[in-house]
Amino acid sequence: MSHNNKIANRKDIAINKLKSLGERIIEEINQNNVPALKVPSRGTSNIIYDEDKRYYVLGDRYGQRSLGNVKQIPKIAQMVYVANFCKDLVRRGKTATLREMYYVSEGWDVDFGDQQESNIVGEDLEVTLGMTREDLGLMPEEDGASVYGNLIMKEDDVEINALRLGKSGYTISPTIDDVEFLDHDVDKVIAVETMGMFHRLVQEEAYKKFNCLIVGLKGQAARATRRFLRRVNQDLNLPVYICNDGDPWGFHIAMVIISGSAKLAHVNHDLATPDAKFLGVTASDIINYDLPTDPLKDIDVLRLKELSKDPRYRDEQWQMEIKKMLKIGKKAEQQSFSKYGLEYVVDTYLPEKLDAM
């Protein structure tokens, strides 16, 4: 199936699913039944780490929302309004940010206490229909990461080469599924947590040296970024390596890319890249490269202990690195390699780490 057909197909599926949600309610009313919606539970007891898939998935527990329950009437009304809004967006080929939807809802007959509440209803709709909010036309505020390297894409009938867009590269669009990958001349992807490190790798021409795409994650990776990494891994067969700060937060950012997050268990099948590898910075790197460090704070220690119990970190290597970091009581940033000069990370550290892997 051509990429354009895939996009059209996803739009049709979204419209049909949204319409059938409304039709089910009308049908129940016509049969003199009390309408109810089944919404998969997103409670922690229904979020399961799937050992085979290597990411979090939702279990099969449902909550019932019934118009016969006075407390649940506003919830169903909110969902119907959001679904109708989304149907209109998809039909017209438009998108709206979650913030815009919140402001549009001021003119509806239902009330959202705050944006957090309307965001949650958007997630309820995602999980009920088994589609991502992006497929329903709803976008986050933030853009995705920056990509630099020889990847040619087609977006809105315009060809884009991520090597020819200046030093900041290509910004991953929230509608990344609408983007077609036409051609590439790379054999791997190196993602880095900070934009400082992204710019360093671009300046030192790491894309030539390692024949790679460089992705600057901008901290915790946005959903579009995670979707992009999954697509280049699956569709283009490119191995993905993640190089983050050597602290529990850097580990966590990498692990959300690899195994998904518990909060988004219902869409991890589209977002997780279980074959992605953590390249560094590790506790072993801190020791082996004698990096400048900061002492672990109490909150870091607490977080590391939480990670050690998390099923995503069951791997021996992760357990060893977490224990080692607790033992040395230190953390280090990616930029700390600058101690040995600005070129060191590309000339020495990354080649050594990639060889070891």
Amino acid occupying residue 320: M
Token duo for residue 78: 């909110």
Neighbour count for residue 67 (Cβ, 10 Å): 17
Token look-up 């569709």 returns 235
**H or E segment to which residue 339 belongs:** none
Concatenating the DSSP letter of every residue in 174-221 gives TTGGGPEEEEE--SEEEEES-HHHHHHHHHTTHHHHTTEEEEE--SSP
- Amino acid 164 reads R
Of residues 186, 188, 175, the one with CA closest to residue 233: 188
Look up tokens 């490190």; give the residue.
197
Find the angle CA(291)-CA(199)-CA(282) to the nearest 5 degrees: 30
Q: Pick the catalytic residue: 103, 207, 289, 313?
A: 103
C-alpha triplet 206, 335, 316: angle, nearest 5°: 85
Q: Following CA atoms 209, 344, 148, 285 in sequence, which dihedral angle do they give, to the nearest 10 degrees? A: 100
Is 55 annotated as catalytic?
no
Dihedral sign, Cα of residue 228, residue 232, residue 235, residue 239: negative
Other Cβ atoms within 10 Å of 53 Cβ, number: 14
Residue 129 CA to residue 140 CA, distance in Å, equals 19
Among all residues, which ones are annotated catalytic?
103
